């Protein structure tokens, strides 16, 4: 993963993990975001901080096409503008009250978020579908060593029957989306999930030993 | 039925939640767990020599251990919350009931350390708690792949209620839940159930309640 992700896409979550009417915490390289899906199914990403009192918006809730802060109920549209301040029911919130938002793309069951305006569209998964996401307390190098393969320029590792889509979270922490062939049956998918758990153990052991630089 | 209970106890909440979900009325007898240590008083030790709460009294019957109390309430009032006839389902209910004890010993102990300053190796407890959460996440992922939303079946059972509270309160012990998307979905499914009740630190889903409408001038 490049240190400067301005203008490029980060795979932040799987579509199946963000049902309509919910909000999840997520990360793009340098900051926490609130990733939410409106009741009508539209995905949005904003800074994970309510401009009012700084509460994490990912602790909030989604009603209709807006996200609301859990603290005082200020609600925001997808574009980040404040729609409503419950303590001032007669007030139309001024345009200056907004939460920072980021570009979102959803493709092949993966939700991608970018800083700025990327020139390209997110990479295709080519016959693979997302299985699950898991967090590995290791860096890309340790995960590559555990997988026996190197990530390509899109952050994708091919390891046996599974593919791994990597997204660096903090120093020493990587979000990994596990992909399987789109025709894999249930038993194969369960095996793939366990394979990913084994890979995590190996990568974290390597990280602990510091044997891969 | 009388429940010896403490409002901040996740194990007491398991019983209150189960009772609320299946429509059983409980008489609550608050125990001064902190700071009074009433659970170690002669009166409570005579009910439960282990010195733990919750304790359920139903006539002559005295039950301890929250998992046993959950099974009792379900068997009495709502048997569909127990395992069905399938051997695999019966085993999974037992598996996760046993597992819930490890949540108490890890996430629960971390929470007592952080909230009530109980002694303990906090880093070790948090690491054990994270390991338990990873196991739960993996178990729920596999259930989801089998087409089931809950730990033992596609309907909630006593096993879900036994595991839910300590998981939901993990952040009280300094263990974050951000990294577990399937636990998040499972938690939402449980909090969406009819009759769900809250405890301090576990709130219900605000979006399921109608939006309060305040007229200008009313506020």
Residue predicted with more confidence, B160 or A212 = B160
- B211 and A63 within 8 Å at the Cβ level: the answer is yes
pLDDT tens, residue order, chain B (219 aa): 999 999 999 999 999 999 999 999 999 999 999 999 999 999 999 999 999 999 999 999 999 999 999 999 999 999 999 999 999 999 999 999 999 999 999 999 999 999 999 999 999 999 999 999 999 999 999 999 999 999 999 999 999 999 999 999 999 999 999 999 999 999 999 999 999 999 999 999 988 888 777 776 655
What is the 3-state secondary structure of A25-70?
EEEECCEEEEEEECCCCCEEEEECCCCCCCCCHHHCEEECCEEECC
Task: Assign A75 to helix, strand or coil.
Answer: strand
- B142 and A193 within 8 Å at the Cβ level: the answer is yes
Task: Assign B60 to helix, strand or coil.
Answer: coil
Interface of A with B in 49-68 (CB under 8 A): 61-63, 68
- B185 and A19 within 8 Å at the Cβ level: the answer is yes
Q: In sequence order, what are the residues at sequence separation of 6 or more whose Cβ sits closer than 8 angstroms to the Cβ of residue A143?
A: A136, A157, A164, A166, A174, A176, A199, A203
Window from A14-23, A90-99, B202-211 with minimum mean pLDDT = B202-211
What's the pTM? 0.94
Span B82-191: which CATH code?
1.20.1050.10
Interface of A with B in 109-148 (CB under 8 A): 132-135
Shortest Cα–Cα distance, B132 to chain A (Å): 13
User: What strands, in cross-sheet order, belong to the sheet with A162-170?
Assistant: A128-136, A173-181, A162-170, A156-159
| The two domains A9-114 and A128-209 share their CATH topology (first three levels equal) | no
State the pLDDT at residue A3: 42
pLDDT at A212 over 60: no
Substitution target from A175, A193, A194, A201 for chain B, most B beta carbons within 10 A: A193
CA–CA gap between residue A27 and residue A30 (Å, rounded):
7
Query: What are the φ/ψ torsions at residue B149 (nearest 5 degrees)?
Result: -90, -15
CA-derived radius of gyration, chain A? 19
Task: Say which of B181, B215, B217 has its CB closest to residue A17.
Answer: B181
Does A72 lie at the interface with B, CB-CB under 8 angstroms? no
Span A9-114: which CATH code?
2.102.10.10
Judging contacts by C-beta atoms under 8 Å, the chain A residues touching residue B146 are 186, 190
CATH 3.40.30.10 in chain B, residues? 2-80
Cα nearest neighbour of A186 on chain B = B145
- A13 and B181 within 8 Å at the Cβ level: the answer is yes
Q: Give per-residue pLDDT as tens, A154-205.
A: 789 999 999 999 998 887 899 999 999 999 999 999 999 999 999 999 999 9
Judging contacts by C-beta atoms under 8 Å, the chain A residues touching residue B134 are 134, 197
Tell me if A65 sits within 8 A of B197, measured CB to CB.
no
State the pLDDT at residue B218: 59
Average pLDDT over chain A, rounded to an integer: 92
State the pLDDT at residue B74: 98
Helix axis angle, B10-22 relative to B158-168, nearest 10°? 140
| DSSP bridge partners of A10 | A113
CA-derived radius of gyration, chain B? 18
pLDDT at A20 over 90: yes
Enter the ipTM.
Answer: 0.93
* Domain boundaries defined on chain A: 9-114, 128-209
CA–CA gap between residue B204 and residue A211 (Å, rounded):
46
Span B2-80: which CATH code?
3.40.30.10
Does A70 lie at the interface with B, CB-CB under 8 angstroms? yes
Judging contacts by C-beta atoms under 8 Å, the chain B residues touching residue A68 are 206
CATH architecture of A128-209: 2-Layer Sandwich (3.30)
Q: How confident is the model at residue A209 (pLDDT cuts 50, 70, 90)?
A: confident
């Amino acid at each position: 993963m490049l240190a400067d992700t301005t203008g490029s896409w980060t795979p932040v979550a799987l579509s199946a993990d963000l049902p309509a009417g919910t909000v999840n915490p997520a990360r793009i390289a340098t900051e926490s975001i609130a990733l939410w899906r409106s009741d009508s199914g539209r995905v949005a990403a904003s800074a994970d901080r309510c401009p009012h009192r700084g509460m994490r918006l990912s602790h909030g809730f989604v009603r209709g096409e807006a996200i609301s802060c859990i603290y005082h109920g200020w609600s925001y549209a997808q574009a980040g503008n404040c729609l409503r301040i419950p303590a001032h029911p007669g007030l139309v919130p001024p345009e200056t009250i907004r939460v920072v938002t980021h570009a979102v793309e959803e493709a092949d069951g993966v939700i991608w978020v970018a800083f700025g305006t990327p020139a390209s569209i997110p990479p295709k998964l080519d016959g693979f579908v997302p299985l699950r996401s898991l967090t590995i307390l290791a860096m890309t190098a340790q995960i590559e060593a555990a997988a026996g393969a190197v990530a390509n320029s899109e952050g994708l590792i091919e390891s046996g029957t599974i593919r791994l889509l990597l997204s660096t979270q903090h120093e020493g922490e990587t979000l990994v989306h596990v992909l399987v062939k789109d025709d894999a049956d249930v038993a194969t998918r369960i095996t793939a999930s366990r394979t990913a758990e084994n890979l995590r153990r190996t990568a974290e052991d390597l990280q602990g030993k510091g044997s891969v630089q | 039925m009388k429940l010896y209970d403490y409002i901040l106890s996740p194990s007491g909440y398991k019983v209150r939640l189960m009772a609320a979900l299946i429509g059983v009325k409980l008489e609550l007898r608050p125990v001064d767990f902190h700071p009074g240590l009433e659970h170690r008083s002669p009166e409570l030790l005579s009910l439960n020599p282990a010195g733990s709460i919750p304790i359920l009294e139903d006539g002559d019957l005295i039950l301890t251990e929250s998992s046993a109390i959950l099974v009792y309430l379900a068997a009495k009032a709502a048997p569909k919350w127990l395992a069905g006839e399938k051997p695999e389902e019966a085993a999974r209910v037992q598996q996760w009931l046993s597992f819930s004890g490890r949540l108490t010993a890890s996430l629960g102990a971390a929470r007592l350390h952080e909230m009530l300053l109980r002694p303990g190796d906090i880093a070790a407890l948090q690491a054990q708690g994270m390991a338990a959460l990873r196991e739960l996440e993996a178990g729920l992922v596999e259930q989801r792949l089998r087409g089931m939303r809950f730990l033992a079946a596609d309907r909630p059972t006593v096993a879900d209620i036994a595991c839910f509270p300590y998981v939901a309160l993990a952040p009280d012990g300094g263990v974050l839940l951000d990294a577990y998307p399937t636990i998040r979905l499972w938690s939402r499914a449980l909090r969406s159930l009819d009759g769900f009740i809250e405890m301090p630190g576990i709130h219900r889903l605000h979006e399921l309640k109608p939006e309060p409408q305040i007229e200008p001038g009313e506020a």
